[in-house]
């Protein structure tokens, strides 16, 4: 249940981006407790008459409708991982050239940059701002998924999207897909003193591991960026007792695949590699193309004037791709400090990220 209006924290969008970041961080918003920060952002956007705001749960979508030739999404999640007490993550504080506190990196610095961009009444492109809940926990709580399921029309008309996750203020294009599968070997149980009466499933797993070790992952160019695929064993289980020949062994495999492949393509690669074994897919999330050939993407990269690399992991840009919108990651903060007790963001990165976006929208 959202807080009543008298409880809503007032955000001053005219404040500098560092002050705004601190104000956002100081509204505690651990996943599933985003109502207060969603209320505050909604109240701050309400006076901006060039925006139409839609709320879905604790997710906000704010859109311009200026008849521009292009529409671009600027998106960021408003939840954080839980706080720790030693040292305390909040309230935020300045120390030297850094702003310290939970959310300064992941990712209320990026949200503050979005809000500063929302003040631009006549941007060069139509904009769709997305402030969404539930990114740090299970997918079912993710606000982008809720938009996809309930109001995809709010995003599907966009040409390009920027997810302001922390990247150290470089552009990371698209993302790789990720497939997790269980490869099972089957044996026959027997007493370990008389193994000839059974068949050892764990021994058979050696062939699975041999195929993995011999596998040569591809490096794929997609929209001018180089994605390095990877296939690895990430877990192995088998055996029921210390005196029983195991009748089953499961090797868990994770395949990170380039965004030129569909989930079905990726599954085909895994099935081919482990032909003859039982393969059960547990998770298969597609990647996202960066779309750097598109005019909006080209203009974005040119305006920023920063390095552009492929995103080698998986991020929510894949959810935009599922709605037909290519996307990149760009935001202030070192991703290595996300969720860290010493989470902090250089003031200069907050300021430069804001300046870059405003150049692009001018």
Q: Is the peptide bond before 91 cis (omega within 30 degrees of 0)?
A: yes
**Burial of 349 per CB tally in 10 Å (0-12, 13-18, 19+):** buried
- Whole-angstrom Cα distance, residue 287 to residue 312? 10
Confidence bin at 6 (pLDDT 50/70/90): very low
**Burial of 272 per CB tally in 10 Å (0-12, 13-18, 19+):** exposed
Positions marked active-site: 79, 135
Using alpha carbons only, give the angle 168, 135, 224 rounded to the nearest 5 degrees: 45
| Residue 144 confidence (pLDDT) above 90 | yes
> What is the average pLDDT across 9-19?
95
- What's the DSSP call for residue 85? B
Are residues 240 and 93 part of one domain? no
SS3 assignment, position 247: coil
Confidence bin at 290 (pLDDT 50/70/90): confident
Whole-Å CA distances, 318 to 24, 120, 162: 26, 27, 12
Please identify, among 261, 285, 309, the residue that sits at the C-terminal boundary of a domain: 285
Are residues 258 and 202 part of one domain? yes
Are residues 59 and 186 part of one domain? no
Are residues 118 and 43 part of one domain? yes
Are residues 213 and 167 part of one domain? no
Domain extent, residue 244, equals 177-285
* pLDDT tens-digit readout, 312-348: 888 899 999 888 888 899 999 999 899 999 999 999 9
Question: Which pLDDT score, from 0 to 100, does residue 326 have?
Answer: 86
Are residues 171 and 294 part of one domain? yes
Percent of the chain with pLDDT over 70: 98
Please identify, among 255, 285, 315, the residue that sits at the C-terminal boundary of a domain: 285
Are residues 67 and 158 part of one domain? yes
**Average per-residue pLDDT for the chain:** 93
The count of structural domains within the chain is 2
> What is the average pLDDT across 270-274?
98
Are residues 263 and 225 part of one domain? yes
Task: Count CB-CB contacts under 10 A for residue 96.
Answer: 9
Distance of CA 237 to the CA centre of its chain: 29
- Whole-angstrom Cα distance, residue 293 to residue 219? 20
Are residues 265 and 185 part of one domain? yes
Q: Which residues face 346 on adjacent strands?
A: 98
Are residues 181 and 171 part of one domain? no
Element (H, E) at 103: none
Q: Which CATH number fits the domain that encloses residue 235? A: 3.30.70.360
Alpha helices per DSSP H over the chain: 17-25, 35-45, 108-118, 143-150, 153-156, 201-214, 263-273, 295-304, 317-322, 347-361
Q: Which CATH number fits the domain that encloses residue 153? A: 3.40.630.10
SS3 assignment, position 295: helix
Are residues 72 and 128 part of one domain? yes
* pLDDT tens-digit readout, 188-237: 999 999 999 999 999 999 999 999 999 999 999 998 899 999 999 999 99
* CA quadruple 314, 319, 320, 324: dihedral, nearest 10: 110
Are residues 258 and 245 part of one domain? yes
DSSP 161-221: EEE----SSSEEESB-EEEEEEEEEE-B-EETT-GGGSB-HHHHHHHHHHHHHH----EEE
Question: Which pLDDT score, from 0 to 100, does residue 1 have?
Answer: 39
Confidence bin at 91 (pLDDT 50/70/90): very high
């Amino acid at each position: 249940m959202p807080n009543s209006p008298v409880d809503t924290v007032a955000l001053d969008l005219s404040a500098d981006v560092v002050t705004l970041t601190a104000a956002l961080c100081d509204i505690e918003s651990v996943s599933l407790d985003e109502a207060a920060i969603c209320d505050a952002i909604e109240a701050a956007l309400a006076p901006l008459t060039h925006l139409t705001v839609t709320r879905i749960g604790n997710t906000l979508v704010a859109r311009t409708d200026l008849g521009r030739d292009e529409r671009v999404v600027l998106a960021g999640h408003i939840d954080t991982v839980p706080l720790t007490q030693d040292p305390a993550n909040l309230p935020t504080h300045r120390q030297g050239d850094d702003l310290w506190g939970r959310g300064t990196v992941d990712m209320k610095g990026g949200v503050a940059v979005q809000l500063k961009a929302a003040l631009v009444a006549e941007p060069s492109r139509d904009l769709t701002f997305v402030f969404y809940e539930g990114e740090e926990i299970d997918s079912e709580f993710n606000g982008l998924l809720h938009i996809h399921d309930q109001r995809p029309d709010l995003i599907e008309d966009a040409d390009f999207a920027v997810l302001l996750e922390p990247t150290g203020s470089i552009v990371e294009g698209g993302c790789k897909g990720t497939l997790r599968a269980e490869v099972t070997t089957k044996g026959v149980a027997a007493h370990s003193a008389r193994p000839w009466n059974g068949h050892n499933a764990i021994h058979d797993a050696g062939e699975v591991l041999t195929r993995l070790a011999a596998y040569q992952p591809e490096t794929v160019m997609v929209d001018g960026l180089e994605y390095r695929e990877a296939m690895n064993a990430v877990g192995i289980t088998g055996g029921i007792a210390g005196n029983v020949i195991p009748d089953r062994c499961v090797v868990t495999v994770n395949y990170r695949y380039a965004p030129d492949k569909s989930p079905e393509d990726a599954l085909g690669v895994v099935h081919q590699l482990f032909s003859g074994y039982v393969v059960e897919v547990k998770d298969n999330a597609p990647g996202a193309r960066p779309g750097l050939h598109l005019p909006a993407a080209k203009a974005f990269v040119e305006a920023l004037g920063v390095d552009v690399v492929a995103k080698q992991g998986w991020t929510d840009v894949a959810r935009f791709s599922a709605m037909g919108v290519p996307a990149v990651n760009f935001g202030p903060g070192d991703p290595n400090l996300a969720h860290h007790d010493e989470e902090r963001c250089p003031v200069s990165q907050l300021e430069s990220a804001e300046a870059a976006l405003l150049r692009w929208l001018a």
